[in-house]
Amino acid sequence: MKLHTANDERIVMTLDAGGTNLKFSAIQGDKILMDYIYVPTEADNLERCLGNIVKGFEQVKAKLAAPPVAISFAFPGPTDYTAGIVGDLPNLPAFRGGVALGPMLEDKFKIPVFINNDGDLFVYGEAMAGFLPAVNNSLAQAGSPKRYKNLFGVTLGTGFGAGITRDGELFLGDNICAGEAWLLRNKLDPNVNAEEGCSIRAVRRVYAAKNGTSFEQAPEPKVIYDIGMGKAPGNKAAAIEAFRQLGEVAGDAIAQAVTLVDSLVVVGGGVSGASALFLQPLVDAMNDVFHKPEGDMRRLVQQAFNFEDSAQRAAFLKGDKREIVIPGTSRKIAYDPMPRTAVGMSRLGTSEAVAIGAYAFALAKLG
């Protein structure tokens, strides 16, 4: 079922919950209606944290011209998202033993409440109004008959988040555990998970090791990126290698996912601004080969293209279009035998994609 949210008149209140601040807004027709309202999280005090969540939504509601139909937002896990019960959160220590956040907000505001993972909502937003429609529009403009319905998305930041959409619907899994890409194996260190190779701490760790300094002395990824781009003093080779390794680990994990879901791929998150240093290594890892005794074979059936590179984008859009004759007739039909995928950066920005994903998720549930 294709969900059309761009012209929907219903209003949904949203929240992006972090360890320091709670970021509130409201959406109507895929558009954010107001400047974000920030309220302190109070992560170590449950009563104050819950009070601030209610306070934030009350402030949003007071600014709306019409009543909202739902609340929908991202919240960290482990959480029973279907029931709206928050588990023991590493970065929000006040939440312990199960906190029925969703039911509490439903009682308070008398409207449905939907909670989900930020990785899932990010990819849903990009599928509804970001990367997926952008690629399909480019294909249409290029005269290609090919269209994509599925999207796999990852966020690179403090962690390695991910989500899956299939034909306009968010795929959550039976335990709401689909798309847990952070738990895929790390190509460069198979004893640990992929997140340890493609997160903020991974970039800092590799830079420190290559620079011969301690992890504590390593700068943040933004500074490491500037060093790698020659915009700041430092070990340029170490900076480039830190992001190259991030790209290789992320690309191998994404290849594992694309093997199963056969989709386009979108990348967001706090580290995404450094795409000039990691995106091509990421795509190269997806196009890698297995070394079998009888000879090499491709890592993926699909060929992966960097959609942010003009030459690769043109090749992706062109494909391998040809016409073939139907046997026994003089009629011809179009044929494109090139299985392919494209990898690109968020078209909405991570926060906006999460908010639009939350909006679309609520409308899909409401019908």
Instruction: Categorize the per-residue pLDDT at 92 as very low, low, confident or very high, splitting at 50, 70 and 90.
Output: confident
Residues of 173-207 as b/e, b for ≥16 C-beta within 10 angstroms?
A: eeebebbbbbebebbeeeeebbbbbbbbebbbbbb
Could you tell me what percent of the chain has a pLDDT over 90? 85
Asked, as a colleague might, if the bond just before 219 is cis with ω within 30 of 0, I would say no
Q: What is the pLDDT of residue 3?
A: 64
Tell me: do 103 and 147 sit in the same domain. Answer: no
Q: Enter the tokens of residue 196.
A: 């340890």
Between CA 288 and CA 304 the distance in angstroms is 10
Mean confidence (pLDDT) of the chain: 94
| Of residues 164, 154, 252, the one with CA closest to residue 199 | 154
Tell me: do 137 and 99 sit in the same domain. Answer: no
Q: Are 268 and 123 in contact (CB under 8 A)?
A: no
Instruction: Categorize the per-residue pLDDT at 1 as very low, low, confident or very high, splitting at 50, 70 and 90.
Output: very low
Tell me: do 197 and 307 sit in the same domain. Answer: yes
Structural domain range at position 24: 11-116
Helix ranges, 229-302 (H): 236-261, 275-286
Least confident of 3-12, 35-44, 205-214: 3-12
Tell me: do 36 and 183 sit in the same domain. Answer: no
Last residue of a domain, one of 116, 150, 170: 116
Domain-embedded: residue 23: yes
Tell me: do 111 and 223 sit in the same domain. Answer: no
Q: What is the pLDDT of residue 89?
A: 85
Q: What is the pLDDT of residue 76?
A: 82
Taking only the tens place, the pLDDT of each residue in 322-337 is: 899 999 999 999 888 9
Look-up of token digits 């079922």: 1
Can you list the positions of beta strands (E) in the chain?
Answer: 11-17, 21-28, 31-32, 37-40, 70-74, 79-80, 85-86, 113-116, 150-156, 160-166, 169-171, 264-268, 289-292, 295-298, 303-306, 322-325, 332-335, 340-345
Domain-embedded: residue 6: no
Tell me: do 89 and 142 sit in the same domain. Answer: no
Domain-embedded: residue 191: yes
Between CA 172 and CA 170 the distance in angstroms is 6
Look up the CATH number of the domain holding residue 178. 3.30.420.40
Domain-embedded: residue 65: yes
Instruction: Categorize the per-residue pLDDT at 251 as very low, low, confident or very high, splitting at 50, 70 and 90.
Output: very high
Domain-embedded: residue 148: yes
Q: What is the pLDDT of residue 112?
A: 97
Higher-confidence residue of 7 and 354: namely 354
The Cα-based distances of 71 to 10, 58, 124, 232 in angstroms read 11, 11, 16, 43
Domain-embedded: residue 123: no
Tell me: do 149 and 63 sit in the same domain. Answer: no
pLDDT at residue 120 is higher than 60: yes
Taking only the tens place, the pLDDT of each residue in 130-173 is: 999 999 999 999 989 899 999 999 999 989 999 999 998 999 99
Tell me: do 262 and 198 sit in the same domain. Answer: yes
Average pLDDT estimate for 48-56: 96
Domain-embedded: residue 306: yes
Q: What is the pLDDT of residue 2?
A: 57
Q: How many domains does the chain have?
A: 2
pLDDT at residue 47 is higher than 80: yes
Tell me: do 142 and 248 sit in the same domain. Answer: yes
Q: What is the pLDDT of residue 16?
A: 85
Q: Enter the tokens of residue 171.
A: 């795929």
Taking only the tens place, the pLDDT of each residue in 279-322 is: 999 999 999 999 999 999 999 999 999 999 999 999 999 999 88
Look-up of token digits 């709670």: 22
Between CA 117 and CA 140 the distance in angstroms is 32
Which three-class secondary structure state does DSSP give residue 30?
coil
Domain-embedded: residue 357: no
